[in-house]
Amino acid sequence: MLADAPLAVEVKHVSKAYGDLHLLCNVSFELRIGELVAVVGPSGAGKSTLLHVLGGLQPANSGEIRLGGQLLSGLRGNALADFRNRKLGFVFQQAMLLPEFTAEENLMIPALIAGYNNKTAKARSHELAEILGVAERLSHKPSALSGGEQQRFAVARALMNRPDLILADEPSGNLDQSQANDLHHLFGELRSKFHQTLLVVTHNPSLAVEADRVFRLERGTLSEISSSDLHHDTPRH
C-alpha cells in the first residue's frame, strides 16, 4: 500500500556501542512517509538508544542516517537543534507536562519557542486537542488530567510544529490497557489520516494491531517480525 511513498527515514549500516556494549551492529532499514512501525525487544537491548541515535541525541559510531533526505551527521550545534525542533517529535513514557501550566499552555510552548505568534500557537493547540479528543480538557493543569489524557497532550505537544517523524519510547508504559489501546488507535489514525510517520518502542502487543510493521531489536540486530510473533513474543526454534 505504501510501497511508492517517499522515504521518511533511511538507515544504512549504522553501528552504536557504549564501550564493549554493542547495541546496534550494522543496522539498516527504511521507513516510508506515513508508516507506523513498532519496535520490540528485551529490556537493555538498545531500543531507547536506537531512538536517541535516530533523533540526533546520540551520535552513531558508523553508518548513515537520512531523515527526509537530510544526512543527520551533516548537522551540528544550532542546525541540529533547529532540525530536531522543526522535523522531529518525541514522546516518552512520562508525559512530562509542565505542572504549573495548563494543558493549553503546555501545547503552545514549543510553538512559541519555534517562533510562532501567540494566536497561531493557540489555534494550533486547539486544532490538535480537538483531533486527539481532549479539547474540553485544555484549561486544566496536568494534575487534574488522567494518565491517558496527559499522554494525549504529550502527543499533541510533539505534533505542534508539524514534525515529519514522531519517535515514541514506550508511550503507553504507564497506562492501563484500555488507555493504551486508545493511544495506539490514535497512532493508527495519525498515520492513516495525516500521513504522520511514527516509530514506536513498545512492550504492548496491542500496538501490533495498528502497526504496519514490527521490528525486533536483540543482540545488536534489528529484524522484521510478524505481528503474531509480538502477541506471543516467544523465540522461534
Where does this chain touch ligand ADP (CB under 6 A) — which range of 7-15, 17-25, 29-37, 177-185? Answer: 17-25
User: CA-to-CA distance for 203 and 205, rounded, in angstroms?
Assistant: 6
Least separation in angstroms between residue 229's CB and ligand ADP is 17
List the interface residues with ligand ADP, window 24-53 (CB under 6 A): 41, 43-49
Give Cα separations from 148 to 124, 158, 222 (angstroms).
Answer: 21, 15, 30
Choice between 59 and 115, CB closer to ligand ADP: 59
Residue 187 to residues 10, 76, 129, Cα–Cα distance (Å): 21, 30, 14
- Least distance to ligand ADP, CB of residue 67, Å: 19
Q: Are 207 and 11 in contact (CB under 8 A)?
A: no
> Considering the complex, what minimum distance in angstroms separates the CB of residue 26 from ligand ADP?
17
How many residues belong to the site for ligand ADP (CB under 6 A)?
11
Query: Which listed option, Mg ion, ligand ADP, none, makes contact with residue 138 (CB within 5 to 8 Å by class)?
Result: none
Residue with cell 484500555: 178
Residue 42 phi/psi, 5-degree rounding, is: -65, 160
Q: 130 is written with which cell numbers?
A: 480537538
Q: What single-letter amino acid sits at 228?
A: S
Among residue numbers 47 through 106, which ones bind ligand ADP (CB under 6 A)?
47-49
71 binds, among ligand ADP, Mg ion, none (CB under 5 to 8 A by kind): none
Distance from C-alpha of 231 to C-alpha of 237, rounded to nearest angstrom: 17
C-alpha grid cell for residue 154? Answer: 504529550
For Mg ion, the binding residues in 30-59 under the rule CB under 5 A are 47-48
Question: Exactly one of 12, 21, 62, 98 binds ligand ADP (CB under 6 A); which one?
Answer: 21
Residue 167 lies near ligand ADP (rule: CB under 6 A):
no
Distance CA 197, CA 10 (A): 13
- Minimum distance from CB of 93 to ligand ADP (Å)? 10
Binding site for ligand ADP (CB under 6 A): 18, 21, 23, 41, 43-49
